[in-house]
Amino acid sequence: MARPTSATIHTDALRHNLGVIRARASGSRVMAVVKADGYGHGLERVARALEGADAFGVAALSDAERLRAAGLSQPIVLLSGFDEADDLPQLRRLNVETVVHHAAQLAMLEQAGDGDPIRCWLKIDTGMHRLGFAPDDVRDAHGRLSALAGVADDIVLMSHFASSDEFDKPQTREQLRVFAEATNGLSGARSLANSAAVFGWPGSHGDWVRPGGALYGVSAVDGKPGPEFGLQPAMTLATRLLAVNRIRKGERIGYGATWQCPEDMPVGVAAIGYGDGYPRHAPAGTPVMVNGLRANIIGRVSMDLMTIDLREQPEAKAGDPVMLWGAGLPVETVGAAAGTIGYELICSITRRVRVVED
């Protein structure tokens, strides 16, 4: 019998979420970010479902290669930019646009000579302090790009927010100010908004928005899961109970004997663990759904199995369904209980989990 653990990908939810984003940022074009294998949902599957997007954003040239091989013709933007001069012919062959964020990339473009023009997205560090040109260097970088015959005329000006999920904090407002000052008078479309900014910072929408997690139904806003913004989860992670055991009061459960039964009680054993990508560090009390009702993990999550408190479901039996996240149990809720974020969880599903497309 096949292991009963599965991840069901809801392509209708992907399309629904794209529609929600378009409604929120109606004056902007949408770049669907599909990096990390479509946030764990399958790159080609996601891209086909999101064919209505205006462009795709990837983190690696290999992802662009896969999208072109799948027959997708939309613009593709290499969000981390190219790494070496040998990448430039590949960008041209695949008709891929690139982010330019460092002086070393400018030098490579200048030394490469002419060729089919590559569209560039000039990244400005407005406060994230990860990638991007310092504000004082933006005009020089823009001028150097504009002077190159091998660079397309329509350079896009972009930045990335550090705290757009905090709607009441000043950092995003300050980043917007820095961006406006650094780009004042420069030609080109503007792009700043990530998923959280689409919902919380409408003044940042500009010409392009770049949603990632929101497309998959995952909110980036602390304490507000995707459904609160009208999003639908694009993944359901599920399995089944392998056994239900009656454990006596005082007995301990699982590795390390970390959880003690407070009374005689039924304990379910579900076929999922960190070998499937479920977080080992999820503590006792992390919610799951058994037969559509909330229950809690007890004991440590092991490689292949987890144990579940079934005192509220004394009739549960082997074979009953267990949902780890999906409709009714947002992955953000699970992530918060496990001390992480929903993004990490959906990107961590391993290859032994059977993927089903709905």
Say how far apart CA 139 and CA 136 lie, in whole Å.
Answer: 7
CB 77 within 8 A of CB 100: no
Can 35 be counted among the known catalytic residues? yes
Residue 34: strand, helix, or coil: coil
Q: How far is CA 198 from CA 72, 75, 158, in A?
A: 25, 21, 15
> Which of 42, 67, 71 lies closest to 57, judged by CA?
67
- Catalytic residue chosen out of the listed positions 35, 39, 123, 343: 35
Say how far apart CA 41 and CA 210 lie, in whole Å.
Answer: 18
120-123 and 156-158 beta bridge pairing: parallel
Count the residues in the chain.
358
- Catalytic residue chosen out of the listed positions 169, 249, 255, 317: 255
Q: Which two tokens stand for residue 290?
A: 């058994």
Say how far apart CA 45 and CA 38 lie, in whole Å.
Answer: 8
Active site residues: 35, 255
